[in-house]
Amino acid sequence: MKRLLFVVFALHIVLGPVFAQTQADRDAAQRDVYVILDVSGSMKSEQKFSNVIEYLEREVLDGLLKTGDSFTLITFGDTAGERLFRTLSGEEDRLALRNELRSLEAEDNYTDIGTALETLADILEKRNIPDVRRVILFITDGKHTPPPASPYYGKDLSVDERFRSVGEKISRGGWFLYVIGIGGETDVGTIAGAVDGSVYTNTDSELSGLEVNAYIESVDEKVSEWEAAQRAGTPGLDGGKKLTGLVGVDRFLVRLAALSGLSLTAVAGIALAVLLVLFLLIFFFLRALRPVVIIASDSRETVKKKLAPFGSLTLNSQNVTLPSIEKNKAVVRVERGLRSLKLKALDNEAFAAEAPIRKAGTIKLDKTVTIQLANKKNIIVKKG
């Protein structure tokens, strides 16, 4: 039992620092931040566009980006394209990004959401850097209204196969969107639904109640799961299948692998070892709880009784009587702990002067014990 407890303790000692270090590495990792921003003319109403720019300055430029992170801006309206890309090497880059954001205008006539997502997918494919944390904010105030020249003109994005395939391409790369809809009439649900694991929210022109930090924490967890599944080659994450296909034990092990930074095979091995330890602990515990058989005999008679943990049997009483002991006279009691058995003297005058139990008062019952009585007779007590 001590060895089993040592194994459990060792697993805790070994894995604890691994989990803690992995979280520290995650916090310090480089981030790739993408903003896909609607620049259609409707964004100018109610100061929505200026509020978005202020929000991006405050929450992204000042609150999120750190030295070494990269920032990509994709704008969409009549068409879609990469507006700027910069990696922060110092405060000069942060100031340049701020100036570039402030120079933006919302003047387009259309809102080509399909082309915006396709542009994002193409850029992600070209610039997918390993071991970075991913953040994508998709911001719009409207529905999909593309120009006639768009490949998505006249298409219902909720059922369009090209749009769905673009979303699946993004999700296969381990990217998840936070889609922000400004106002009540937007296609944010359709956009988020195209990229498995993404989330969306609706807000007002003041951008009230946005929870970008909560989204980032959720994305870090999802990306870690995705990376762990990729390291292990988990079926169902390649060939366009989705992370949500993982259920039950599979998803649980992938989550542990993501948190620990270990391969899925290693995590499965550790989980199996822990289950084995738990099984053995339960086995030994249940074994310790089983009743044991106590056998008491003299030259004339033998009695057998089952004794539960922390129970006791008294000779002579409780229908455990031997002819060698005076009737109804309590002479010795068998006491059981969780694992131990002992004999306790109740009447020293009933034992011979040289009987060990008379001198010790209590003796262990770890083998057959012979007790000499004062009447020159012997009784034998043992575990059956």
Residue-wise pLDDT for 65-88, tens only, equals: 999 999 999 999 999 999 999 999
Q: Does the residue 282 lie in any domain?
A: no
> What's the N-to-C CA distance of the chain in angstroms?
23
Question: Has residue 343 been placed in a domain?
Answer: yes
Q: What is the CATH number of the domain that holds 19?
A: 3.40.50.410
Q: What is the pLDDT of residue 365?
A: 87
| Range 54-62 average pLDDT | 94
Answer yes or no: do 309 and 249 share one domain.
no
- Per-residue pLDDT reduced to its tens digit, 239-271: 333 333 444 555 566 556 545 555 556 767 787
Domain total of the chain: 2
pLDDT category at 231 given cuts 50, 70, 90 is: low
CA distance 302 to 381: 10
pLDDT at 141 over 50: yes
Q: pTM (2 decimals)?
A: 0.59
Statement to judge: residues 73 and 106 lie in one domain: yes
Instruction: Give residue 195's pLDDT.
Output: 92
* pLDDT tens sequence across 32-49: 999 999 999 999 999 999
- Do 69 and 152 belong together in one domain? yes
What does the pLDDT read at residue 21?
Answer: 40
Q: What is the DSSP letter of 3?
A: H
Same domain, yes or no: 346 and 210 = no
Q: Are residues 364 and 303 in the same domain?
A: yes
Same domain, 337 and 222: no
Residues 260 and 326 both lie in one domain? no
CATH number of 354's domain: 2.60.200
**285 within a domain of the structure (yes/no):** no
Of residues 191 and 1, which shows the higher confidence score? 191
Lowest mean pLDDT among 38-52, 146-160, 315-329, 332-346: 315-329
- Of 47, 211, 222, 62, residue with least CA distance to 133: 222
The chain-wide mean pLDDT, for the chain, equals: 82
**Residue 317 domain boundaries:** 292-383
What whole-number distance in Å separates Cα of residue 384 and Cα of residue 334?
A: 13
Q: Decide which of 215 and 167 is more confident.
A: 167
The Cα–Cα gap between 372 and 281 comes to: 40
Q: Do 240 and 374 share a domain, yes or no?
A: no
Q: Are 227 and 187 within one domain?
A: yes
Whether residue 238 is predicted with pLDDT greater than 90 in this model: the reply is: no
Same domain for 263 and 319, yes or no, is: no
